[in-house]
């Protein structure tokens, strides 16, 4: 069993990358490293002598490099962000080491359908439940892990089973989205060369995929940084820091895209990570409203 590794030396802190809310299948191990299931493989990120080693099996190096977005210079991105907006200094400094992972689009779609009106610990639990129930076994270092099931599998899943796995009101969304993808009614594998508008239109054909979920898919699986997902937290943060008034998610996205341009996606990530972990800085703004 060949085990290989590559080194990530620059602009990377595992805790920031894996716990900024973009992914749900990475977990911290007892010794402080991270282990995750990525498509049909188990990956480990291990710190040795101040360097991070990615261990993997059954994958090409190019896959790993793309997954960790290693061809992008985040340090340069940060400098450009700071040069155009000083308000982001604290958030960028705090979130240094976040990389936007290039996730599998199918798993990303279902993951963010599950995220609807849900919280992160429960999202992780539901995805784990689905993988254990429907996924394939992966053996890694004598342990068993489970891959996320393919569209054809979830297309045939029963409502009863998925309810048992705690998917709740999202059950019909999941099954019908899987059916539409499996049948080819919605083409999720031919989106690469399409415009943001075209991609969003295609994704929103899927039940349970609205503006925000489609934005997450475009950012986290297509690597489109000129996208700014607006959830309840980002809404609050933007209203608090920039707008000083209640505003609709659509207007907030418009504002952010105009201001942060092709770096909006990573800015969104820094803001989310920083303010979720420092909620006190958001006192003074109401929790909802628009």
State in angstroms the smallest separation of the CB of 243 from DNA. 16
Reading the block at residue 190, the tokens are 């031919």
Our CB check for DNA shows the closer of 56 and 107 to be: 107
State in angstroms the smallest separation of the CB of 209 from DNA. 6
How far is the C-alpha of 156 from the C-alpha of 159, rounded, in Å? 10
- Tell me if 162 sits within 8 A of 174, measured CB to CB: yes
Beta bridge partners of residue 45, listed in sequence order: 34, 54
Our CB check for DNA shows the closer of 14 and 208 to be: 208
State in angstroms the smallest separation of the CB of 185 from DNA. 14
- What residue ranges bind DNA (CB under 7 A)? 20-22, 115-123, 163, 166-170, 173, 204, 207-214, 216, 229, 231-234, 248, 268-269, 272, 276, 287-288, 290
State in angstroms the smallest separation of the CB of 229 from DNA. 4
Q: CA 192, 196, 201: angle at the middle one, nearest 5?
A: 100
How far is the C-alpha of 178 from the C-alpha of 186, rounded, in Å? 10
State in angstroms the smallest separation of the CB of 51 from DNA. 26
Our CB check for DNA shows the closer of 194 and 276 to be: 276
How far from 31 is each of 27, 48, 52, CA to CA, in Å?
11, 12, 14
Our CB check for DNA shows the closer of 126 and 138 to be: 126
Going by C-alpha positions, the residue among 158, 177, 159 that lies closest to residue 169 is 159
Our CB check for DNA shows the closer of 43 and 200 to be: 200
């Amino acid at each position: 069993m060949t085990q290989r590794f590559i080194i990530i030396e620059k602009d990377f802190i595992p805790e920031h990358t894996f716990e900024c809310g973009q992914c749900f299948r990475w977990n911290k191990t007892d010794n402080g490293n991270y282990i995750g299931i990525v498509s049909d493989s188990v990956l480990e990120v291990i710190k040795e002598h101040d360097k991070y080693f990615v261990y993997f099996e059954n994958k090409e190096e190019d896959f790993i490099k793309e997954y960790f977005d290693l061809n992008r210079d985040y340090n340069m991105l940060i400098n450009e962000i700071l040069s155009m907006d000083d308000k982001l200094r604290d958030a960028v400094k705090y979130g240094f080491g976040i990389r936007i992972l290039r996730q599998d689009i199918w798993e990303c779609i279902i993951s963010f359908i599950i995220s609807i009106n849900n919280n992160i610990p429960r999202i992780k639990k539901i995805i784990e439940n689905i993988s254990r129930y429907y996924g394939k076994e992966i053996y890694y270092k004598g342990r068993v892990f489970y891959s996320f099931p393919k569209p054809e599998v979830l297309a045939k899943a029963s409502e009863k089973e998925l309810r048992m796995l705690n998917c709740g009101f999202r059950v019909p969304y999941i099954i019908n989205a899987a059916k539409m993808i499996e049948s080819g009614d919605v083409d999720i594998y031919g989106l690469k060369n399409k415009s943001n508008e075209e991609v969003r239109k295609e994704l929103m054909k899927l039940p349970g995929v609205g503006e925000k979920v489609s934005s997450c898919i475009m950012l986290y699986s297509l690597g489109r940084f000129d996208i700014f997902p607006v959830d309840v937290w980002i809404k609050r943060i933007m209203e608090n820091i920039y707008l000083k008034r209640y505003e609709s998610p659509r207007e907030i996205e418009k504002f952010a895209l105009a201001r942060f341009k092709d770096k909006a996606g990573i800015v969104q990530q820094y803001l989310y990570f920083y303010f979720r972990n420092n909620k006190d800085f958001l006192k003074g703004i109401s929790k909802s409203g628009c």
